Amino acid sequence: MAPRFIIRDAGGVVRTLRRIAIRDSGGTTRVLKRMFVRDGGGVARLVYESIRVATQPANVSGSSGAGSPSGKVISAQAACAFAGSNGTLTYAWHTTNCTADSPNSPNTTFSATVNAASTVDGTAYCTGSDGVNSVNTNLIQVPLTNTTPAVQIISGTINSNGIYPAAASAAVWFNSNGDQFEQTNQYPNGNVIGSWNPGGAPGSFDFRATLQSGTAPNLANMTDTLGTWVEATNSTFGASWGLTVTNKNGATETCTLLIEVAQHGTGVPLASGTVTLTVSDAA
């Protein structure tokens, strides 16, 4: 560190000089950034230096499967440095759309909560201060990406009515094209409720149904094993679960299923929903 300047003020108090201002030939007052003196040997020596940026930070990014519907993504570390001859230097990171995890350190990562299959574009810069003067680094870009697929299960109730002696049946199923279907007496070939894969995430996905209450699914050819992950395919009914009531004059059956979706072979749920099947065999 360069030597300090010591002065005595008008009241006779000894003080350390923290800032030097000069008036240039045009009459404008300017804060002196550096000052050199030539010693007795003719060597120029730095005796005063205001705070300056010694190391500019570079752009950083982060990418991870942080979860669905959202999760925390953390960037790589950014680093900067300040230099100067005026006392202790302090650091303060300023951000938009993200948070500095070490906001008062020269080195920090950045984080944000990011929706599945989405990117948050953050920015950051750091302010250095020596207690009198301050200076900012350049602005850096901080993109943070959550690579988890954006998938969903559409919750709701599927009702189906039959007229005795005909059977009443209701089912829910999922195909590999991203469609969630309902099947009822009114829609014997199925009706698209919506998309379980609105983000168009690539790859294969599995579905699992767990009975929450009521009668276990029992519809022939449309009931996969409960509690087991079943891959969605382009077959007629994909991953499916159905309920039926047959030849029961005026009978009603209901089952409520918790249905989860995961990337194929992982067994890690990305999203879940509750589907209730209700069938009535009216007189």
Q: Are residues 164 and 255 in the same domain?
A: yes
In a domain, residue 151? The reply is no
pLDDT of residue 110: 98
In a domain, residue 265? The reply is yes
283 residues of the chain, pLDDT tens digit each:
444 555 566 777 766 555 566 677 787 866 555 555 666 777 766 555 678 899 999 999 999 999 888 999 999 999 999 987 666 889 999 999 999 999 999 999 999 999 999 999 999 999 999 877 789 999 999 999 999 999 999 999 999 987 766 788 999 999 998 999 999 988 888 899 999 998 788 889 999 999 999 999 999 888 899 999 999 987 667 899 999 987 666 778 999 999 999 999 999 999 999 999 999 887 6
In a domain, residue 19? The reply is yes
**Residue 221 structural domain:** 156-282
Q: Are residues 216 and 278 in the same domain?
A: yes
Q: Are residues 244 and 276 in the same domain?
A: yes
pLDDT of residue 167: 81
pLDDT of residue 164: 67
**Residue finishing a domain among 146, 174, 200:** 146
| Overall domain count for the chain | 3
Q: Are residues 174 and 88 in the same domain?
A: no
Q: Are residues 138 and 162 in the same domain?
A: no
Q: Is the pTM of this model over 0.85?
A: no
In a domain, residue 10? The reply is yes
pLDDT of residue 104: 97
**Residue finishing a domain among 88, 115, 146:** 146
DSSP for the chain, please give it.
Answer: -PPPPEEE-TTS-EEE----EEE-TTS-EEE--EEEEE-TTS-EEEEEE--EEEE------EEE---SSEEEEEPPPEE-EEE-SSS--EEEEEEESSEESSTTSSEE-EEEEEETTEEEEEEEEEEEE-SS-EEE---EEEEEEE-S-------EEEEEEEETTS-EEEEEEE-TTSEEEEEESS-TT-EEEEES-TT---S-EEEEEEEEEESPP--TTS-PPTTS-EE--SSSSSEEEEEEE-S-TTEEEEEEEEEEEEETTT--EEEEEEEEEEEEEE-
Q: Are residues 167 and 61 in the same domain?
A: no
